[in-house]
Structure 1
Amino acid sequence: MSMTTRAMLAGAILCASSFSGAAIADTAPSADMQAVNTACRADAEMAGCGQEVVGKGMLKCMGSYKKAHQDFKFSPACRGALKQMKAEISADAQDVNSACRADAEVTGCGQEVVGGGLLKCMGSYKRAHREFRFSAACRDAMKQMKQDRNAGR
């Protein structure tokens, strides 16, 4: 898995779980995260990351191992589960980026995207400007991202 893929997966998960300005504060694992935990368990064990789970260090640990051991290959099941999780995260991120574009401009976060600081930036603005309300479309997209993350599609 490339550094960009790991960063996107980990960043999206961490940003989504740390954003307190909207309804994205839960940390319950999604069906996709559970699928990765299950499909990649043997890979994680081999990489010395057996006690880790997605969202709590597994991807970072496995990525570090892969970087240090160029010949290490993730199992087909693990690659498939990671690909599915990435697709879900990417689709939700695109929806939030689109639906929240005007909100991002208002909050001074117009250059940011999900996984690259948008949620953190908008959350900081919201905490500093309590009267600010996200648009209905933005709230709905963030709520959908949370639901997908927590329940899978």
Structure 2
Amino acid sequence: MSSSLKAQSYSFGPFTIPPSTVFYETSLTFAFVNLRPIVPGHVLICPKRPSLLLKDLSSSEYSDLWATVRAVQAVVEESKGAGGSNVAVQDGPEAGQSVEHVHVHVLPRVGGDFERNDDIYEEIEGWGPWKNTNQPKIQVPDDADRSERTLEIMGEEAESYRSKF
């Protein structure tokens, strides 16, 4: 990345992102601070070319996006003293995507930031500028309450995917 940002503004779905909020860019990707962060250091990374879904990205865009995520994650974790991060993509409206432009959330995590570690996922789901109230929330039991599947069932599922490649 050059020492000065090149664009006068950046597009993120219908929103214009001012250069003052962008802290890293490549020729294909940019990273910016979040207007409404869930945790301190919650940032977003997205391709410069507006695309709705990950599968819509070219191979170069896809590779560059994830290389940028890795670089940004390391810097943000160090900056915030985090021992890890949640890296999340809501790929499409049914997955909770609130802005119609591929984007990756990096949420640096520190011990004790949520009472239940997985509570962050509810925060991510409700983060966007709108909430989809038409669909019931999926109730996910705690890990201890979920039963394991048999190898046979898992093998059948794997085969159904394997046959598509």
The verdict on a shared fold, with TM-score over 0.5 as the criterion, is no
Which category describes the TM-score, using the shorter chain as reference length? under 0.3
Instruction: Tell me: higher relative CO, structure 1 or 2? Use CA pairs within 8 A at least 6 residues apart.
Output: 1
Flag the structure with higher helix content: 1
Q: TM-score, normalised by structure 1?
A: 0.27
Q: TM-score, normalised by structure 2?
A: 0.26
Flag the structure with higher strand content: 2
